[in-house]
Amino acid sequence: MTNPLYHALFAHHEGSSRVFLHLADGSMTSYADFLAMADRTANALGALGVAPGDRVAVHVEKSPQALALYAACIKAGVVFLPLNTAYTAKELDYFVGDSGAALFVCDPSEAEAMGPIAAAAGAQLKTLASDGRGTLTDLVADQPDHFAAVARDGDDLAALLYTSGTTGRSKGAMLTQTNLLSNAQALVDCWRFTRDDVLLHALPIFHSHGLFVATNVTLLAGGSLIFLPKFDLETVLRLLPRATTMMGVPTFYTRLLDDARFDAALSAHMRLFVSGSAPLLAETHKAFEARTGHRILERYGMTETSMNTSNPYDGDRRAGTVGLPLPGVEARVCDPETRAELAPGEIGMLHVRGPNVFKGYWQMPEKTREELQADGWFITGDLARIDTDGYITIVGRGKDLIISGGYNIYPKEIEMFLDDQPGVKESAVVGAPHPDFGESVIAVLVPEPGETLDLSAIEAAASEDLAGFKRPRHVVVMEALPRNTMGKVQKADLRAQFAAVFQPKAS
């Protein structure tokens, strides 16, 4: 009987009085207390009839209890399905239904709205608030402190993470115990994590970066987390002196650099800053080094693969590159059409293979076959170049995708929504450089002949249906979209036309 992921991440902390979580208010949670909470939560899952292999959909704010639910799912062999807190009821309806979740845990404030969604999917509904209260917690409180780990194979699912797609329909990436464990092991090694590390954790825990990278790495190494509800500049500046490491999306680093209080003295004791989820501009890398003396370590990953490449801990952290493949991970650049491997220095589609690569898309065998080849190579959708010394540079995207503040936005999904709005004949959605979010969303709308669009009604509908981070930040009405002779919309033209929309105006 074994459960490799539970054993590697959690079992060695059982009974340990060492601190695992430092909260913003100064309170702390020991490993022993955290694991007792996880065991009670696992018993609560059992009491609800949630069985190994079942999915638990989780739409809650970041809290120690929410993290304990993750640990409980791993221990109980239940598939953890975290959902972005920004998702609207309409978006959640799809995820809960598609995953066939046995249990849906949501914030108490949304319980009424989520009732019909859970009922339609045949899921039980429980609540958990950011302060740890809720109907799930009430049930957890009555449970015994011990739960025996459920046996799992490395190939069993540990988590299901939805990622949007170019067709507009989200796909559930199935991540196994081995996927998560092999990646955490590689990162602990490469980034030299130890039990002395204190990681400033301001990322959400519903995505790969905050959950599988920052949290799993810390658990495996036995360090602790300064566990913040979100990235709040004042809190980060206040608590940074207590940390040894930090992980973030590029927006974290540009926001820090925008504040003069962030200087060499404040980060003198830090050993590592890691960036990922979106391109870190070389100029940010350089400005960071000039201000603090630290060279940010940039790595590259995806929901489907966790982390693939990293700049080296020792050696050249090359600005503008994502470094070298992690141990056990292979990377190659191929012709997007023929899939023939290209020579070093040539730009093409990046493929990766290794124990980190997911098992496939939930109940989408065809989609899985399109992107995950039978020989294990996964087609990332990112355009890259591999230099002769092995360094990889992501030069663009072969997929139509906007990354805003580390969140992925697929234009197709927004276009499908906009095309359905009254008076809209067609639409095109493109990204443009944004000083805070890296990129942000522009919508171009074409009205039906003779129609005048009610933009405020469209905006109101968007706030009902689309998560806030996906909503267009700039809307333009045009008589027609630019098309080539084949009739294909020329998004590159639109991107060029609106490239400066979010840039600060010269005074």
Q: Which is nearer to ligand AMP, 130 or 393 (CB)?
A: 393
Please select the residue that binds ligand AMP; options are 172, 279, 354, 355, rule is CB under 6 A.
279
Contact string 449-478 vs ligand MLC (x = CB under 6 A): -------------------xx---------
- Is 478 within 8 Å of 493 (Cβ atoms)? no
CA 455 to chain centre: 31
Minimum CB distance to ligand AMP smaller for 16 or for 373: 373
Number of residues that bind ligand AMP (CB under 6 A): 19
Decide if residue 303 touches ligand AMP (CB under 6 A): yes
**Is residue 350 within the footprint of ligand AMP (CB under 6 A)?**
no
From the list ligand MLC, ligand AMP, none, pick the one residue 204 interacts with, judged by a Cβ distance below 5 to 8 Å according to partner type: ligand MLC
Binding status of residue 438 toward ligand MLC by CB under 6 A: no
Told to check if 382 binds ligand AMP by CB under 6 A, we report yes
Backbone angles phi, psi at 304, to 5 degrees: -70, -20
Compute the least distance from the CB of residue 466 to ligand MLC, in Å.
10
C-alpha angle 54/59/62, rounded to 5°?
A: 115
Binding mask 279-318 for ligand MLC (x = CB under 6 A): ----------------------xxx---------------
Please report whether residue 397 would count as binding ligand AMP according to CB under 6 A: yes
Q: Where are the alpha helices (DSSP H) in 394-454?
A: 411-419
Strands 424-434 and 407-409: unpaired
Please report how close the Cβ of residue 33 comes to ligand AMP at its closest, in angstroms: 32
The secondary element (H helix, E strand) that includes residue 333 is: strand 330-334
Q: Binding partner of residue 16 among ligand MLC, ligand AMP, none, CB under 5 to 8 Å per kind?
A: none
Buried/exposed code over 333-356 (b: 16+ C-beta within 10 A; e: otherwise): bbeeeeeeebeeeeebbbbbbbbb
301 binds ligand AMP (CB under 6 A): yes
Residue nearest to ligand AMP (CB): 303
Instruction: Identify which range of 124-132, 400-408, 446-454, 477-485 contacts ligand MLC by CB under 6 A.
Output: 400-408
| The entry of ligand AMP, ligand MLC, none that residue 468 binds, CB within 5 to 8 Å by partner kind | ligand MLC
Q: Is the dihedral of CA 458, 464, 467, 469 positive or negative?
A: positive
Interface residue with ligand MLC among 251, 275, 292, 310 (CB under 6 A) is 251
- Degrees to nearest 5, angle at CA 293 with 403 and 291: 70
Phi, psi for 505 (deg, rounded to 5):
-70, 140
Q: Which of 101, 102, 249, 350: binder of ligand MLC (CB under 6 A)?
A: 249
In this complex, which beta carbon is closest to ligand MLC, that of residue 77 or of residue 438?
A: 438
Residue 473 CB-density burial (10 A; 0-12 exposed, 13-18 middle, 19+ buried): middle
| Minimum CB distance to ligand MLC smaller for 408 or for 427 | 408
114 binds, among ligand AMP, ligand MLC, none (CB under 5 to 8 A by kind): none
Instruction: Tell me how far apart the alpha carbons of residues 33 and 18 are, in angstroms, rounded to a whole number.
Output: 10
Q: How far is the CB of 87 from ligand AMP (least distance, A)?
A: 14
Phi, psi torsion values for 456, nearest 5 degrees:
-70, -30
Contact status: 380 vs ligand AMP (CB under 6 A): yes
**CB atoms closer than 10 angstroms to residue 160:** 23
What track of x and - describes contact with ligand AMP for positions 404 through 433 (by CB under 6 A)? ----x-------------------------
Taking phi over 0 as left and psi of -120 to 50 as alpha, with beta for the rest, 132 belongs to left
Closest separation in Å from C-beta 309 to ligand MLC? 10
- Ramachandran sector of residue 294 (left: φ over 0; alpha: ψ -120 to 50; beta: rest): beta
Query: Which option in ligand AMP, ligand MLC, none does residue 224 bind, with CB closer than 5 to 8 A by kind?
Result: none
Q: Which helix (H) or strand (E) holds 352?
A: strand 347-353
Among 288, 407, 410, 502, binds ligand MLC (CB under 6 A): 407
| DSSP symbol at 346 | -
Residue 380: in which H helix or E strand, if any? Answer: strand 378-386
β-pairing, 324-325 vs 306-310, is: antiparallel
Q: Which does 230 bind (CB under 5 to 8 A by kind): ligand AMP, ligand MLC, none?
A: ligand MLC
Binding range to ligand AMP, per CB under 6 A, among 182-190, 271-279, 329-337, 471-479: 271-279
User: Does residue 230 belong to the site contacting ligand MLC (CB under 6 A)?
Assistant: yes
* CA–CA distance, 322 with 301 (Å, rounded to integer): 9
End-to-end CA distance of the chain: 68
Element holding 19 (H helix, E strand)? strand 19-23
The answer to whether the beta carbons of residues 73 and 104 sit under 8 Å apart is no
**What residues line the site for ligand MLC (CB under 6 A)?**
86, 203-204, 207-210, 230-231, 249, 251, 276-277, 301-303, 404-407, 437, 468-469
**What residues line the site for ligand AMP (CB under 6 A)?**
163, 208, 276-279, 298, 300-303, 322, 380-382, 394, 397, 403, 408
